[in-house]
Copies of this chain bind each other. A is one copy, B any other.
Amino acid sequence: MQFTTGQGHEKVCTMKDLSAAVKSGGEVSFHGSVHKIRDMGDVAFVLVRIIDGVFQCVYTPQKANFNIKVLKEECCVKFSGIISEEPRAPGGFEVSLTDVCVLSSPHAVMPVSINKGKLKVNLDTELNYRPAALRAGVMRAKFPPPPPLVRGFRDYLHLQGFTEIHTPKLVAAAAEGGANVFKMDYFGKKAFLAQSPQFYKQTMVGVFERVFEVGPVFRAEKHSTARHLNEYTSLDFEMGYISGFEDLMEVETGFLKYTLELLKNEYKSEIELLNIDIPKIDKIPCVTFAEAKEMVCAEYDRPIKDPNDLEPEEEQLIGKLFLEKHKSDFVFITHFPSKKRPFYTMDDPQNTKVTLSFDLLFRGMEITTGGQRIHDYSQQVEKIKAKGLNPEDFESYLMIHKIGMPPHGGLGIGLERLCMRLLGDDNVRHSTLFPRDINRLEP
């Protein structure tokens, strides 16, 4: 009888392990992909890609017990060699190769070149060949997901007493309204793909008071823009016993500060490689929707076309204005009109035409929508009716209002958009591992 013990698998060899081996200057062995070969005749330089980096090996026929011709780029190999210091090489060391075991060989050449610095292909080509493109150094620094964003979200919220949840993506009722929801047949019944974990995270506030989820959300939006995806990763949280929606903005600010500190302190090489301009975030200005509209109108002589929502160009101008006047890359816009907010959003009791809700703009683009939710049953039923919807369609959701809920609210952050703004990408597809849009379902 054989047994597993949990100890029997090989420990992975990292850049750090190799660095540590330099001092002893002895033999090392490691596995990886042949990233690049520069054959100069009497000597060849072989760049090897291992789990967390790329480094240089040197091949000479005198020292190696194999012929360089057995190697191709993207071969997977196990190498042995002698490690030594080499200040000019990446990582500060190089390995003089002695032996090789070729584990696998590619069947075709790479469709995009990944070993010549920046990728020099257009976005569509890059996305078609993303499984190949992702092997480039700059792409490995960027994905997945952008450096410490998910880690920061999870760690910060854990510190604040939040519980992580996983909620269903196949649902019977559409939280954000009917137009942009994917429908499907579910054993003869109609089902939707969740546009957000809205109903479930609210439900769990009744259980754990503070909850969060990192998961996929689905939007059947038909427009193809540089900032829309049909599936994306949402960082959601929901929080009970708030004294107002300002509490939510404070938690989000805390998360952003915490995460940008993580980035600064622990991801120096990624910052350099990706040329990340880290935003300053001592404090984030807050302005009402109405004020923001008027400021842009006055400052840039731009007429207000849509009184109920922000146009993308207005978001850009607000971003510009607050960067200039307050040196801030972020702006909270509060009190959005009731007309454009979902039925679960609480109206402002002082002016029911606006809601106790907000967006967060980051460098001129919305990356968050949030707000206080209605917790009273009668008030929620009334608002559903006022929106022209049927409370019977939301019976399951309304159970939590019936049995009692604390004042609460929450928000959702689009992970890919947050990443896009942080990295200065001009298209959200650049910041998405395998983007889904109206034309793209593969790879």
Contacts and interface: CB of A to CB of B under 8 A. Distances in A.
A32 to B, nearest CB: 8
A297 B252 CA distance: 60
Interface string A264-286: 00000000000000000011111
A404 B233 contact: no
A433 B200 CA distance: 10
A76 B406 contact: yes
Contact of A50 (B52, B209, B255): B209
A250 B401 contact: no
Complex copy number for this chain: 2
Given A9-B251, A184-B183, A436 B170 contact: yes
A414 interface: no
B189 A441 contact: yes
A169 B166 contact: no
A231 B168 contact: yes
A285 B400 CA distance: 47
A121 interface: no
Contacts of A247: 8-10
A194 to B, nearest CB: 9
A123 interface: no
Contacts of A204: 134, 144
Nearest to A248: B9
Given A107-B377, A285-B3, A436-B170, A134 B206 contact: yes
A103 B9 contact: no
A227 interface: no
5 contacts: A74-B403, A76-B407, A103-B406, A106-B403, A172-B442
A36 interface: no
A183 B182 CA distance: 11
Contacts of A51: 161, 208-210
A298 to B, nearest CB: 16
A430 interface: no
B231 A169 contact: yes
Contact of A12 (B110, B135, B210): B210
A4 interface: yes
Contacts of A108: 377, 402-403
A161 B14 contact: yes
A257 B436 CA distance: 38
A341 interface: no
A304 interface: no
Given A131-B206, A433-B165, A438-B187, A218 B170 contact: yes
A396 interface: yes
Interface in A396-443: 396-397, 399-407, 415, 433-434, 436, 438-439, 441-443
A405 B104 contact: yes
B189 A5 contact: no
A109 to B, nearest CB: 8
Contact of A166 (B144, B242, B248, B256): B144
A320 interface: no
Nearest to A434: B168
A104 B253 contact: no
A222 interface: yes
Given A75-B404, A76-B404, A106-B404, A135 B283 contact: no
Contact of A230 (B6, B170, B250, B436): B170
A316 interface: no
Interface in A55-112: 74-76, 78, 103-111
Interface in A319-367: 326, 332
A383 interface: no
